[in-house]
A and B are shown apart, each in its own frame.
Chain A
Amino acid sequence: MKRIGMVFAFEYMGYLKNKTFRVTTVVLLAIIILAAFFPQIRGAFQKITSGGDDGNDMALLIVSGEAASGESTSFANADALTEITVGYEWETGDVSDDPKEAVAEEGYDVALVYDGGASYRLYGSSYDFGLYGLIEVLDSYFTNADRETALRDLSPDARSAAEQVLGITVSGEIVSVSGADAGDGADAGTNFFLSYILLYLLFMVMIMYGQFVISSVVNEKSTKAMEILITSAKPIQLMFGKVLGVGCAAMTQLLLIIAAAVAGLFLNFGNWKEQMPDIASGIESTNLSPSLVIFFLLFFAGGYLLYAFIYAGLGSTVSKIEDAGAVTTLPQIFVIIAFFISVFGMTNLDAIYVKVLSYIPFFSPFIMFARVCMGEADYLHGVIALLILAPTIILFAWLAAKIYRIGVMMYGKPLKLKEIFKIAVARR
Chain B
Amino acid sequence: MIEVSRLTKNFGKTRALDSLNFTVKDGVAFGLLGRNGAGKTTCIRIIMDIFRADDGRVTIDGAPSYKSPYKIGYLPEERGLYQKRVILEQMIYIGRLRGLSAREAPRKARERLEELEASEYADRKLDTLSKGNQQKIQLAIALINDPDIIILDEPFSGLDPVNAGLLKEIVRKQARQGKTVIFSSHQMAQVEEFCDDICLIDKGKSVLEGNLERIKKSYPRNIVYFEPGADWAGDPIPSLRSSMGPSVRDVCARKSGYLVTLASPDDRGALLRALGEIGVVPEAFMVQEPTLEEIFIGKVGDDPAKEGAPRGDADSEGGKRSRGGLFGRAKKDRSGKIGSSERGKRS
Is A171's CB within 8 Å of the partner chain B? Answer: no
A231-B52 in contact (CB<8A): no
Question: CA A409 – CA B9 in complex, angstroms?
Answer: 15
Does B83 sit within 8 A of A, measured CB to CB? yes
A227-B50, A409-B51 are known contacts. Are A232 and B80 too (CB-CB below 8 A)? no
Report if A6-B93 is in contact (Cβ < 8 Å); known contacts: A18-B84, A223-B83: yes
Cβ-closest chain B residue relative to A225:
B81
> Quick check: is A230 within 8 A (CB to CB) of the other chain?
yes
SS class, residues of chain A in contact with chain B: helix
Interface assignment of A26: CB less than 8 Å from any CB of chain B = no
Known A-B contacts A230-B50, A231-B74; the reply to A225 vs B97 at CB < 8 A is no
B280 contacts partner chain A, Cβ-Cβ < 8 Å: no
Q: Tell me the smallest distance from the CB of B126 to a CB of chain A, in Å.
A: 9
Docked Cα-Cα span, A361 to B4, in Å, equals: 46
A409 near B50: Cβ-Cβ < 8 Å: yes
Is the Cβ of B80 less than 8 Å from the Cβ of A224? yes
**Interface residue A152 (Cβ < 8 Å from any Cβ of B):** no
**Cα distance A300–B149 when bound, in Å?**
45
Pick from B45, B80, B85: contact of A14, CB under 8 Å: B85
Contacts of A223 in B (CB 8 A): 80-83
Judge whether B216 is part of the interface by a CB distance below 8 angstroms.
no
Q: A residues within 8 Å of B by Cβ?
A: 3, 6-7, 10, 14, 18, 219-220, 223-225, 227-233, 409, 428
Interface set of B (CB-CB < 8 Å, partner A): 45, 48-52, 72, 74, 76-85, 93-94, 96-98, 138, 141
A228 touches B45 (CB 8 A): no
The 9 closest A-B pairs by CB, nearest first: A224-B80, A227-B76, A232-B97, A224-B78, A223-B80, A225-B81, A233-B97, A10-B93, A231-B74
How many angstroms from the CA of A233 to the CA of B45 in the assembled complex? 15
5 contacts between A and B (CB under 8 A): A225-B81, A227-B50, A231-B49, A409-B45, A409-B51
A229 to B79 alpha-carbon distance, docked (Å) = 11
Query: Within the complex, what minimum Cβ distance (angstroms) separates A415 from chain B?
Result: 12
Within the assembled complex, what's the spacing in Å between the Cα atoms of A225 and B45? 15
> How many residue-residue contacts, CB under 8 A, span A and B?
51
Q: Which residues of chain A come closer than 8 Å to B83, judged between CB atoms?
A: 223
B72: nearest chain-A partner, CB-CB: A231
On whether the beta carbons of B51 and A228 are closer than 8 Å, the reply is no
Closest residue on chain A to residue B75 by CB atoms: A228
Q: Which chain A residues border B84 with CB–CB below 8 Å?
A: 18
Residue in B52, B85, B96, B141 whose CB lies within 8 Å of A228: B141
Known: A223-B83, A225-B82. 10 other contacts (CB 8 A): A6-B93, A14-B85, A223-B81, A223-B82, A225-B80, A225-B81, A228-B76, A228-B80, A229-B94, A409-B51
Tell me the nearest residue of chain B to A238, going by C-beta: B97
Tell me, in angstroms, the Cα distance from A229 to B82 when the chains sit together: 11
Contact A228 B94 (CB under 8 A): yes
CA distance A230 to B51 in the complex (A): 11
B residues less than 8 Å from A409 (CB atoms): 45, 50-51
Of A6, A18, A231, the contact of B96 (CB 8 Å cutoff)? A6
B311 CB, nearest partner CB in chain A, Å:
25
Q: How many Å from the CB of A108 to the closest CB on chain B?
A: 61
Q: How far is the CB of B252 from chain A (nearest CB, A)?
A: 46
B81 touches A228 (CB 8 A): yes
A409 CA to B11 CA, complexed, in Å: 12
Provide the bound-state CA to CA distance between A148 and B210, in Å: 117
Assembly CA distance A229 to B78 (angstroms):
12
Bound form: Cα–Cα A419–B97 in Å:
31
Alpha-carbon distance A13/B331, docked complex (angstroms): 59
Determine the distance from Cα of A340 to Cα of B267 in the docked complex, in whole angstroms: 92
**How far is it, in angstroms, between the C-alpha of A428 and the C-alpha of B53 when the chains are bound?**
12
Q: In the bound complex, what is the Cα–Cα distance between A223 and B84 (angstroms)?
A: 10
Cα–Cα, bound, A224→B79 (Å): 6
Report the minimal beta-carbon distance from B188 to chain A, rounded to whole angstroms. Answer: 25
Specify which chain B residues have a CB less than 8 angstroms from the CB of A10 in the assembled complex: 93
Please, which residues of chain B bring their CB within 8 A of the CB of A219? 82
**Chain B's nearest CB lies how many Å from the CB of A36?**
33
Q: A180 to chain B: closest CB distance in Å?
A: 54
CA distance A172 to B150 in the complex (A): 82
Complex interface: chain A residues within 8 A of B96 (CB): 6
| Residue of B80, B84, B96, B97 contacting most chain A CB atoms (<10 Å) | B97
Residues of A within 8 A of B78 (CB): 224, 227
Query: Shortest distance in angstroms between A14's beta carbon and chain B's nearest beta carbon?
Result: 7
Point out the residues of chain A lying under 8 angstroms from B141, CB to CB. 228
Give CA–CA (A6, B45) in the complex, Å. Answer: 24
Q: Which residue of B lies closest to A2 (CB)?
A: B96
